[in-house]
Amino acid sequence: MASLTFATTNEDMAFGQNGIGAFWGFTMTDIIFTHVLLAFTANKKHDQKMSDVIVSLAEYLDRTPANISNHLPEVAAAMGADSTRRVQEVILRGWWPEEFARGVTYASANAQPLLEHEKGTSAMTTVFAIMTAFTTLTLILRIWSREVLVMKLMLHDWFMVIGFLLSLTYGIISLLHASLLLPAVAIWDMSWNTYAQVHMYQTILSLIYPVPLFFIKTSLLLFYLRLCPSCPSEIRSVFRTSIFCTFFFILATCVTNFFVILLQCDQLAYWKAETTTVCKLDSKMAQMALGGVSVVTDILLWLMPLPVVWQLDLGKREKVLAVVTFGIAAVACVVSAFRLRAIQMYGYVTDGKLLSVNVSILTVVELNLAIVCSSAPAIRALIIHYAPRLLNVYSQSTRRVRRPTVKDIKQMELSNSSDEDDDGSTTYTISVGINVRQGDYPMSPGGGAVTMGGDGLRAPQDVEKGSPPGSVRSMRRLA
Decide: 120 and 184 in contact? Cβ < 8 Å.
yes
Same domain, 413 and 445: yes
Residue 157 within any structural domain of the chain: yes
Tens of pLDDT along 70-82?
888 999 999 999 9
Decide: 430 and 451 in contact? Cβ < 8 Å.
yes
The H or E element spanning position 429 is strand 427-429
pTM: 0.74
Residue 6 within any structural domain of the chain: no
Q: How many domains does the chain have?
A: 3
Decide: 166 and 215 in contact? Cβ < 8 Å.
yes
Same domain, 79 and 39: yes
Residue 21 within any structural domain of the chain: no
Can you tell me the distance from the alpha carbon of 378 to that of 363, in angstroms, rounded to the nearest whole number? 24
Residue 248 within any structural domain of the chain: yes
The pairing of beta strand 427-429 with beta strand 435-437: antiparallel
Can you tell me the distance from the alpha carbon of 446 to that of 410, in angstroms, rounded to the nearest whole number? 21
> Sign of torsion, CA 310 313 315 317?
negative
Q: Which of 114, 137, 169 is the last residue of a domain?
A: 114
Residue 1 within any structural domain of the chain: no
Can you tell me the distance from the alpha carbon of 21 to that of 2, in angstroms, rounded to the nearest whole number? 20
Decide: 198 and 180 in contact? Cβ < 8 Å.
yes
Read off the pLDDT of each residue in 398-404 and give the average, rounded to a whole number. Answer: 48
Residue 437 within any structural domain of the chain: yes
Same domain, 127 and 232: yes
Can you tell me the distance from the alpha carbon of 2 to that of 11, in angstroms, rounded to the nearest whole number? 24
Q: Which of 386, 413, 433 is the last residue of a domain?
A: 386
Same domain, 337 and 449: no
Q: Which of 351, 386, 421 is the last residue of a domain?
A: 386
Residue 96 within any structural domain of the chain: yes
Tens of pLDDT along 46-96?
999 999 999 999 999 988 877 888 888 999 999 999 999 988 888 888 888
Q: How far is CA 99 from CA 11, 18, 249, in A?
A: 9, 16, 53
State the CB neighbour count (10 A cutoff) for residue 377: 23
| Closest-CA residue to 215 (of 257, 159, 254, 171) | 159
When mean pLDDT is compared across 220-234, 261-275, 314-328, the lowest value belongs to 314-328
**271 three-class SS:** helix
**280 three-class SS:** coil
Tens of pLDDT along 202-255?
889 988 999 999 999 999 899 888 877 767 777 788 888 889 999 998 999 899
Same domain, 53 and 153: no
Same domain, 321 and 442: no
Q: Compute CA 338 distance to the chain's CA centroid, rounded to the nearest angstrom.
A: 11
Same domain, 298 and 179: yes
Question: For residues 176 and 203, which has the higher predicted lDDT (pLDDT)?
Answer: 176
Which residue blocks in 328-419 are alpha helix, DSSP H?
329-345, 348-351, 357-386, 388-391, 406-417
Range of the domain at 331: 123-386
Which DSSP state fits 209?
T
**456 three-class SS:** strand
Can you tell me the distance from the alpha carbon of 51 to that of 112, in angstroms, rounded to the nearest whole number? 7
pLDDT of residue 92: 83
Residue 11 within any structural domain of the chain: no
Average model confidence (pLDDT) for the chain?
76
Can you tell me the distance from the alpha carbon of 352 to that of 339, in angstroms, rounded to the nearest whole number? 19
Decide: 11 and 101 in contact? Cβ < 8 Å.
no
Same domain, 76 and 161: no
Same domain, 206 and 74: no
Same domain, 253 and 342: yes
Tens of pLDDT along 122-136?
899 999 999 999 999
Same domain, 378 and 451: no
Decide: 479 and 322 in contact? Cβ < 8 Å.
no
Q: How far is CA 54 from CA 50, 167, 219, 441, in A?
A: 6, 40, 52, 74
Can you tell me the distance from the alpha carbon of 472 to that of 451, in angstroms, rounded to the nearest whole number? 12
pLDDT of residue 479: 52
Can you tell me the distance from the alpha carbon of 181 to that of 198, in angstroms, rounded to the nearest whole number? 8
Given 3-state DSSP classes, what are the helix, strand and coil percentages for the chain, each rounded to the nearest 5?
A: 65, 5, 30
pLDDT of residue 30: 85
pLDDT of residue 350: 56
pLDDT of residue 330: 75
Same domain, 95 and 129: no
